[in-house]
Amino acid sequence: MPPYFINLRFVIAMIICAIFAGCGDDKGGPVEAADRFFALCANGKAAEAFNTASGTFQIERSTKYFQARVRETGLDSFQEVKWTALDTPGRARVVRGDFKLKDGRVLPLIVSMVQDSGRWSLFGAKVESADEDIFAFVERSADGEDEGKKGFGDPFDRALPSEKELQKMVEEVLLTFDDAVKRNDFSNLYALASDRWKFRGKDPRVLTYTGKNPKLLEKADPENKAKRLTIAAMDHAFHAFVEANADISRIKGEKMILDEPVNLNTDRVLTVKGRYDTFVFQGGAAPKPCKLSFSLEFVREGSAWKTFGITVNFAAPTAK
């Protein structure tokens, strides 16, 4: 047979391979597309990854919501992934990815890919043996019962506090904490706390119910098994600061230094982590200078941001 016939068959075979995405490899196929998508997430480009997802995926959630879920699942920093193509009929293709996360855990995801505008795009991703898409736009908080009745809204549809507002929010909480420690009375600090922290999404009247209605008795929690915030809990948590005669009053008017970008997660919790460069003190007649670091959590209730968590740390100043 003349050589040119062999070459012609080779060319035809190559055209067929191109049409059907690759003659046995995954180049340009769903596995490679999924790999590209999650590689963008791991390289700080979750917004770019979101823009490559299917149109349906993009309509059902916001970019910021998706970015937050990527952080929360650890997919923003996974170390490696092993892909397996699963045999599925129909327009969609399903692939399995075993993601080794930064903390050593393995997250098995079943990823659905669809043809969208001539290319493979992400349609959804579920943890193996789970029904819910890990990126689904849902109420995830375990203590948001009352909020759930009102309907869940995108936590990112409101603007985050400005730098000036954050400064004011943090200073108010920390100076109220300072006053509480000095007076050994945490009632004012408790007043700044969110109802969600105090009542865990429950009706406070139901929590203390002592009647005979079995349904209400089932919801009651007189022993505080849900670990709701109480003044007594604050007394216990911050007793060491009272004993140490802690004094952080000098932070008033000083600029806080953020240790990481302010983070709002899909549970609607705003986390602010930082420190102050000014000295704070602990001790009596000869107070010991320290440096203050903090981690505060806030949730939006009505028109205000209310406290949802407080962590305060003193550390010896480092020698320069």
Is the predicted pLDDT of residue 66 greater than 90, yes or no?
yes
Rounded to whole angstroms, the Cα distance separating 277 from 297 reads: 21
Is 120 exposed, middle or buried, given 0-12, 13-18 or 19+ CB atoms closer than 10 A? buried
The CATH code of domain 24-138 reads: 3.10.450.50
pLDDT at 292: 96
Q: Which CATH number fits domain 163-194+226-315: 1.10.1200, 3.30.420, 1.10.357, 3.10.450?
A: 3.10.450
Residue (of 141, 110, 136, 102) closest to 30 by Cα position:
110
Which of 31-40, 124-133, 139-148, 238-247 is predicted least confidently? 139-148
Is the predicted pLDDT of residue 25 greater than 80, yes or no?
no
How would you classify the pairing of strands 269-282 and 263-264? Answer: antiparallel
pLDDT at 144: 55
On the question of a common fold for 24-138 and 163-194+226-315, the answer reads: yes
Rounded to 5 degrees, what angle do the CA atoms 21, 131, 96 make? 30
pLDDT at 10: 36
Reported as a single tens digit per residue, the pLDDT across 181-222 is 999 999 999 999 999 999 887 888 888 888 888 888 888 887
pLDDT at 316: 87
Rounded to whole angstroms, the Cα distance separating 47 from 30 reads: 20
Rounded to whole angstroms, the Cα distance separating 97 from 85 reads: 9
Q: pLDDT band at residue 278, thresholds of 50, 70 and 90? A: very high
Is the predicted pLDDT of residue 179 greater than 80, yes or no?
yes
Report, as an integer, the average pLDDT of 24-43: 84
Could you tell me the residue ranges of all domains in the chain?
A: 24-138, 163-194+226-315
Report, as an integer, the average pLDDT of 146-170: 76
pLDDT at 117: 84
Rounded to whole angstroms, the Cα distance separating 231 from 15 reads: 74
Reported as a single tens digit per residue, the pLDDT across 252-265 is 999 999 999 999 99
Q: pLDDT band at residue 90, thresholds of 50, 70 and 90? A: low
Rounded to whole angstroms, the Cα distance separating 281 from 288 reads: 5
pLDDT at 112: 94
pLDDT at 152: 60
257-270 burial string, b = 16+ CB within 10 Å, else e? eeeeeeebbbbbbb
pLDDT at 7: 38
